[in-house]
Amino acid sequence: MDRRILHVDIDAFLASVEQLRDPALIGRPVAVGTGVVASRSYEAKARGVHTAMPLHEARRRCPELIVREGDARLCERYRQRVAEIVRRFAPVVEVCSLDDFYADLTGVPLRVEQELEDATATAGERSLQGLCRQLRAAVRAETGLSIAQGLGSSRTVARLATTKAKPGGICEVAPGGETTFLADFPVEAVPGIGPKTAAWLQQVGVTTVQQLWVVDRELLRQSFGARGDELWLRCRGLDDAPVRATPTLHSISRETSFEPRTDFGSQSTAFLRAMLAYLLDRASSELRAQRLLARTVQVRVRHTDGGLGERSRTLGEPTDRTDVCMVVAGELLDELLQRRVLVRLVGVTLASLQPPRAVQGSLFGDDGKARHQLFAAVDAVRARHGFGALVVGAAAGLLGQLPAGKHGFRLRTPSLTK
């Protein structure tokens, strides 16, 4: 069976995220970068601002250019959300660079057709382009971002097709049409041909893919080794490199060590509880940013004598609410503090992650709905002013105990997601 590879690229990713964060920027020329332009809005492109251009040159061409530094964390969240949406449409998804993805859609239309019991679906809606249009609409509706998509029989063809689809389009190269499609691309457009290789090829009079076809396979092999062989295949659309599924997030962990605290000579459980609340707050914020729910809460402690304790519990319903998780985590902590040895590390893990089901909203009572709105508001304030802008619940016990800043309390050995 012919392979059908989909390449997805987010249009003007970093600049678009800035426009989503600050709607006043929509429709205006925006560039993201320090020193050089890392990303620019299409309004900026229309004014002659290009990626990799020095910012002073960009400002000269477009004096009203709005320049932002960008927010790496926010972009990562958007990237994960787009990846999550692509995964709903394709069984195998590879998250590539900052803003592009490959998906293997080989055999997918058949499956979609079988699942589409809806007799009203037309043949057109079952084609891969129909799937691409649905994907584009889903990304637009759920993130506000625009994507360009390329379809072809290999990664190279799909990727180059995307360049023809920018911005917002879908370009499909039909099986058998690969060589005609590739012929006129400049050689440096082929993935794997960098400036050095392109310069070498130019010296021997090769600037387009069509001209590259004439170069002997053995010569490419001698000049570039195994990579030369790869180039020979790629420029003919014959590369068979697979799409490798990028693992999805399985758990979110936060932990830190600290100087053991005592109250009147015995363990300060208030401090431990506050630390746990703070770590859990960070983990559950990330959970919400990833648009996931957790079904399992695990708490661990390490004692000053090296002993390690771990407890976990499965929730009746998956949740992304900090307060619901904290009730369980607090009970687990109490169980772990039976030993009369001081604790020097606390950690929490949210696991058995799953995307929310569409019907779930209706299952919450009024209290649940209000709580969800509350956490959404907390997340929005933090996205704007930093995590430290709000201290939630029992984490307030850390106030005055640990140095705090815009991005929250400064932990001694903070850990990232496992």
* Interface ranges with Mg ion (CB under 5 A): 9-10, 13, 99
Nearer to Mg ion, 13 or 78 (CB): 13
Which residues share a beta bridge with 93?
103
Which residues share a beta bridge with 311?
299
Backbone phi and psi for residue 19, each to the nearest 5 degrees, phi listed first: -70, -35
Give the nearest distance from C-beta 152 to Mg ion in angstroms: 18
Angle, alpha carbons 328-329-330 (nearest 5°): 90
Give the nearest distance from C-beta 215 to Mg ion in angstroms: 30
Amino acid letter at 371? R
In 112-224, which ranges are E strands?
A: 147-152, 170-172
Give the nearest distance from C-beta 9 to Mg ion in angstroms: 4
* Tokens standing for residue 292: 């996931």
Nearer to Mg ion, 21 or 166 (CB): 166
Nearer to Mg ion, 11 or 84 (CB): 11
DSSP letter (8 states) at residue 411: -
Which residues share a beta bridge with 148?
9
**For residue 304, with 0-12 CB atoms within 10 Å meaning exposed, 13-18 middle and 19 or more buried, which class applies?**
exposed
Amino acid letter at 259? E
Nearer to Mg ion, 10 or 161 (CB): 10
Give the nearest distance from C-beta 243 to Mg ion in angstroms: 18
Give the nearest distance from C-beta 100 to Mg ion in angstroms: 6
Nearer to Mg ion, 41 or 154 (CB): 41
In angstroms, rounded to a whole number, what is the distance separating the alpha carbons of residues 208 and 202?
9
Nearer to Mg ion, 168 or 242 (CB): 168
* Tokens standing for residue 199: 């310069």
Give the nearest distance from C-beta 94 to Mg ion in angstroms: 16
Nearer to Mg ion, 10 or 274 (CB): 10
In the Cβ-directed half-sphere of 283, how many Cα atoms lie within 13 Å?
38
Paired sense of beta strands 294-303 and 343-351, if any: antiparallel
Give the nearest distance from C-beta 279 to Mg ion in angstroms: 35
